[in-house]
Amino acid sequence: MNHPFKKNAKLVLSNGTTFSGFSFGADGSVVGEIVFNTGMTGYQEVITDPSYYGQILTFTYPEIGNTGINFEDSESEISVKGIIVRNYSSNTSNWRSKLNFNQWLIENNIIGIYGIDTRALVKILRSNGSMNGVITSEKINLETCLQFISNAPNMKGLNLAKEVSTKKDYFWKATTKTDFDVRNKSHINKNKSHINKNKLKIVAIDFGIKKSILSRLVSHGCEVLVLPSDSSYVDVLAQNPDGIFFSNGPGDPSSVFDGINLAKSLINYGKIPMFGICLGHQIFGLALGGKTYKLPFGHRGLNHPCGISNNVEITSQNHGFALDPKSLSNKIVQITHFNLNDKTVAGLKLINKPIFSVQYHPEAGPGPHDSDYLFEKFVSLMLERC
């Protein structure tokens, strides 16, 4: 699509590769880790996923922005640093759209570049791994761009969860607006009937949580209290929870020391059902004595197959680190899922304790609904102990 008043922009990677394109969204320069997402839909949810904090996101789908922006689908008030697209649509066509995509980017100070060969860029990232880079609409030479990049921190070793976590406790009461399948709705109604009498309560530890996750928990009949990422063992148990949830989030999981120490204490206690996803899953693994490592270019998309023993579900993922399966003791941990693309650990559970986790996002925000049963499983573990 042609855009009037094109303004030149460029993308420079840490290896010196330069792409020339055009600026949209906010003006200026931004430095961050360049990653890519293979999803064909849900760009508003993806851009506002706190797990992308500190990163510049490349969309492999060639046309972004054609459905505009609405006031319901943002997963948080946090966004990516910048976006890279083949083309963006300045026209919108969707009954829910309230705002032009470009204007929304400007209001949220997100710098974008379009008109580059995103296929070539993704091939570089797949071959060389995710790397830092800079997007700029300013007249900055290559040497200056490379200096910006060299001064930027690498993702490995960064505790970004503390940057995106809530600073104070709050209750979440909103439910999911999307209708899921009949089996799930029947289970939800059953749970609500029980919980209305017994006040089943979840404490959710916020490492960068998405609102869709909270809404799915509420839709399954739970009362959800969200606590900051640096909450202590005493803070959590003081709430007398029926279940504890460890959320997704950005950065290097091995640097989230408060979360790892909290998980260790709660796992040792072992009496309260626990469910972790994404960063929470990695924190569980680290608390159990495991190790994590940085993936070459991460898993970011809506179609990752995961499973074990001929049971497969298509999942939504957004992470750059993974658990080393050799570091997990099979005496206390059972691996329940593998990512079937590369055989990385995608799920685990503790033997003889009501604790489990997955590497993906089961709430379908955005993504398929295959994994919604995990919320049912979490609720069932709590109901067994009521």
Q: Mind listing the pLDDT tens digit of every residue in the chain (386 residues)?
A: 556 568 999 999 999 999 999 999 999 999 999 999 999 999 999 999 999 999 999 999 999 999 999 999 999 999 899 999 999 998 899 999 999 999 999 999 999 999 999 999 999 999 999 999 999 999 999 999 999 999 999 999 999 999 999 999 999 998 987 665 544 444 445 555 454 456 689 999 999 999 999 999 999 999 999 999 999 999 999 999 999 999 999 999 999 999 999 999 999 999 999 999 999 999 999 999 999 999 999 999 999 999 998 889 999 999 999 999 999 999 999 999 999 999 999 999 999 999 999 999 999 899 999 999 999 999 999 999 87
Q: How far apart are CA 220 and CA 240, in angstroms?
A: 19
Q: Which amino acid is at 56?
A: I
Cα(115)–Cα(370) distance, rounded to whole angstroms?
35
Token pair of 307, please? Answer: 């499973």
Decide if 363 is catalytic: yes
Q: Which residues contact residue 124 at a Cβ distance below 8 angstroms, ignoring those fewer than 6 apart?
A: 13, 15, 17
SS3 10: strand
pTM score of the predicted model: 0.94
Active site residue: 145, 222, 278, 306, which one? 278
- Crossing angle of helices 257-269/279-287, nearest 10°? 60
From 33, 75, 313, 363, active-site residue: 363
Q: What is d(CA 23, CA 199) in angstroms, rounded to the nearest whole number?
A: 51
Q: Is position 145 annotated as part of the catalytic site?
A: no
Domains defined along the chain, listed by start: 8-151 (3.50.30.20), 161-384 (3.40.50.880)
Is there a catalytic annotation at residue 306? no
